Amino acid sequence: MINGTIVKGIGGFYYVKTEKGILECKARGLFRKDKILPMVGDRVCVEPKKNDATNIIKKIEERDNFLVRPPVANIDMAIIVFSITRPEPNLYLLDRFLTIIEQNDIHICICFNKVDIADENKKNDIISIYEKTGYPIICSSAKTGEGLKELKEILKDHTSIFSGPSGVGKSSLLNKMQSNLDLKTGEISSKSERGKHTTRHVELLELEFGGYVLDTPGFTSLEIKDVEEADLQYFFPEFIPHIDECKFNGCRHMQEPKCAIKEKVLSKDISESRYDSYLSILKEIQEQRRYKYD
Ligand code: GDP
Ligand code: ZN
């Protein structure tokens, strides 16, 4: 048996990266019966082929996590890329990305790109909002190479996805770090790009400095689903140390008196824009509930 990781799946064949290189494999018949389909990112055991037979995936190791869209398992790092300008960053959108990734229990790094054309004050304003979250923050430029060393450090030895709105420079950053990835950037027309995406399969790309990155951005649907009202606060890491300091048990940090979170917003230890995002998402969850029980 050889251990490896599925890096690509096409038409019933799985491509497994092992110490002996990439092996083309089929899945053991039994998986289909159990309704377990191997996924890109799965750690598997392969029985190598004898004579003319194919390699067979015999065992799928338990998954740490998996995503449905794109279908991939065992992602352990999400790099959320936003540009400081062109396009202008929508911080509410950023907070939705962060919430959804927190829900999936994946490590987060925030990357603010296009610093080469950004206004210095604006950059500092945005950083001051997010440094209170405790997430690692990288300021980068795919044009000048600034921040790429730090990005590589984060990517190294992780299986990562790059997420964020289109046009912020995700493909440009990846291409700049490793030219043979050859990801398509914004230069091509959006029409041909859309056509391409419909026929695409997902693939983990191996990074020459260690680690894998998914070739397609994750979390493009920013729908908040299956989040309990009481759990949302834990997806805002800068809230967590203060949650127990609220006067009321089960405080939602809305209108309640003696709310520690609101006090921290007033003292600017928690950013107002983050708190506003929390409230908006909380209201959305409450609306969903109402709809469900009416
Ligand atoms: P993606 O949709 O997030 O993958 O974004 P792309 O990598 O396709 O980049 C979108 C556009 O922004 C392209 O025209 C890039 O040349 C440009 N771009 C990407 N990164 C930078 C950067 O750091 N600075 C500047 N000035 N332009 C960038
Ligand atoms: Zn509170």
Q: Which residue out of 141, 182, 185, 215 has the highest number of ligand 1 atoms within 8 Å of its CB and is therefore the one to mutate?
A: 185
> Which ligand has the nearest atom to the CA of 258?
2
pLDDT band at residue 12 under the 50/70/90 scheme: confident
- Please tell me the distance from the alpha carbon of residue 251 to that of residue 247, in angstroms, as a whole number: 8
* Average pLDDT value for the chain: 91
CA of 233 to the centre of ligand 2 (A): 9
Mean pLDDT in residue range 187-211: 67
Counting from 1 in the atom list of ligand 1, the atom nearest the Cα of 117 is 26
> Which ligand has the nearest atom to the CA of 260?
2
Cβ proximity of 144 and 172 under 8 Å: no
pLDDT band at residue 235 under the 50/70/90 scheme: very high
- Please tell me the distance from the alpha carbon of residue 58 to that of residue 202, in angstroms, as a whole number: 22
Closest Cα partner for 81 from 11, 6, 183?
183
Q: Would you say residue 196 has pLDDT above 50?
A: no
119-175: per-residue pLDDT in tens? 999 999 999 999 999 999 999 999 999 999 999 999 999 999 999 999 999 999 999
> Which ligand has the nearest atom to the CA of 233?
2
Neighbouring residues of 182: CB distance < 8 A, sequence distance ≥ 6 = 175
Counting from 1 in the atom list of ligand 1, the atom nearest the Cα of 142 is 23
Q: Which residue out of 111, 117, 172 has the highest number of ligand 1 atoms within 8 Å of its CB and is therefore the one to mutate?
A: 172
**Cα–chain center distance at 21:** 27
Percent of the chain with pLDDT strictly greater than 70: 94
Cβ proximity of 111 and 119 under 8 Å: no
Higher-confidence position of 194 and 279: 279
Closest Cα partner for 177 from 209, 202, 211?
209
Closest Cα partner for 56 from 33, 25, 34?
25
Which residue's CA is the closest to the ligand 1 atom numbered 6? 169
> Which ligand has the nearest atom to the CA of 173?
1
Counting from 1 in the atom list of ligand 1, the atom nearest the Cα of 113 is 23
CA of 286 to the centre of ligand 1 (A): 37
pLDDT band at residue 26 under the 50/70/90 scheme: very high
Cβ burial of 154 (10 Å; 0-12, 13-18, 19+) is middle
| Least confident residue range of 61-70, 85-94, 243-252, 279-288 | 61-70
pLDDT band at residue 200 under the 50/70/90 scheme: low
CA of 252 to the centre of ligand 2 (A): 6
Closest Cα partner for 106 from 36, 193, 175, 41?
41
What's residue 192's pLDDT?
46
Counting from 1 in the atom list of ligand 1, the atom nearest the Cα of 141 is 23
CA of 245 to the centre of ligand 1 (A): 43
| Least confident residue range of 77-91, 186-200, 207-221 | 186-200
pLDDT band at residue 53 under the 50/70/90 scheme: confident
Which residue's CA is the closest to the ligand 1 atom numbered 24? 114
Q: At which residue do the structure tokens 């600017």 appear?
A: 268
Mean pLDDT in residue range 8-15: 92
pLDDT band at residue 189 under the 50/70/90 scheme: very low
What's residue 187's pLDDT?
54
